[in-house]
Amino acid sequence: LSTRGNHHTVPRIGIMGGTFDPIHNGHLVAASEVAWVYDLDEVMFVPTGRPVFKLDKTVTNAEDRYLMTVIATASNPQFTVSRVDIDRPGVTYTIDTLRDIHRARPEAELFFITGADAIAEIMRWKDADEMWSLAHFVAVSRPGYSSDLKSLDIPARAVDTLEIPALAISSTDVRRRSEDGEPVWYLVPDGVVQYISKHGLYR
């Protein structure tokens, strides 16, 4: 799948889906590294609406998560943020994300980026077979998780695994640290530290 240095005529778009509650440097490094290795023209960050795997948890409202994602990605000319998931009513399913982006950008080749933990959930995603036809999947390494694709029932061609610089950062830990008054500087971009404190999130 990697064609760095080759010329491609079709635009190559990465899709980085996530709850982004809040977005952190682990997400940004994953997107940047996949963009480099796969020679992507753009990485679209797509904050989820109601994430299907987090229905039992409270999630920060979508506009705050969206704005933090915009703040975190604004300085990178290759990074964009899409509202497709937060504007679609109901629970977010990745197949709907892919269908919407494919409809908006039918000419593009799509690369869905997940961490090693999220790829394991793929088999529980709705309409998995159609997903493989809409996008390539790139599973990036994440500290604390192994991505043993063989143990999952995933077609080998459909998913690539990629080793990326390890950042042991999670949004759960950033929320916990904020709640306990511990610093989150350098775990999330400066503008996100300031957004969290300005809006009193995670208190």
Name the residue type at position 178.
S
Give me the least distance between CB of 104 and ligand ATP, in Å please: 21
Give me the least distance between CB of 110 and ligand ATP, in Å please: 15
How many Cα neighbours within 13 Å face the side chain of 12? 20
C-beta of 27 vs 136, nearer to ligand ATP: 27
Region 24-43 residues binding ligand ATP, contact defined as CB under 6 A: 26-27, 30
Residue 20 lies near ligand ATP (rule: CB under 6 A): yes
Which residue stretch of 83-91, 122-130, 168-176, 193-201 sits at the interface with ligand ATP (rule: CB under 6 A)? 168-176
Give me the least distance between CB of 141 and ligand ATP, in Å please: 7
> Considering CB under 6 A, how many residues would be counted as binding ligand ATP?
18
Q: Residue 121: helix, strand or coil by DSSP?
A: coil
Region 64-103 residues binding ligand ATP, contact defined as CB under 6 A: none
The angle subtended at Cα 129 by Cα 126 and Cα 130, nearest 5°, is 85
Enumerate the H helices of 49-202 as residue ranges: 62-73, 84-87, 94-104, 116-119, 128-134, 171-179, 190-198
Q: Which of 60, 92, 94, 171 binds ligand ATP (CB under 6 A)?
A: 171
Helix or strand run (H / E) with residue 29: helix 25-37
Residue 9, both tokens: 């005529």
Which residue stretch of 83-91, 127-135, 163-171, 195-203 sits at the interface with ligand ATP (rule: CB under 6 A)? 163-171
Instruction: Identify whether 143 is preceded by a cis peptide bond (ω within 30 of 0).
Output: no
Name the phi and psi angles at 20, rounded to 5.
50, 55
Quick one: how many helices (H) and strands (E) in the chain? Answer: 8, 8
Q: Which of 86, 140, 187, 193 binds ligand ATP (CB under 6 A)?
A: 140
Residue 22 lies near ligand ATP (rule: CB under 6 A): no
Q: Which residues bind ligand ATP (CB under 6 A)?
A: 18-21, 26-27, 30, 114-115, 117-118, 140, 142, 167, 169-172
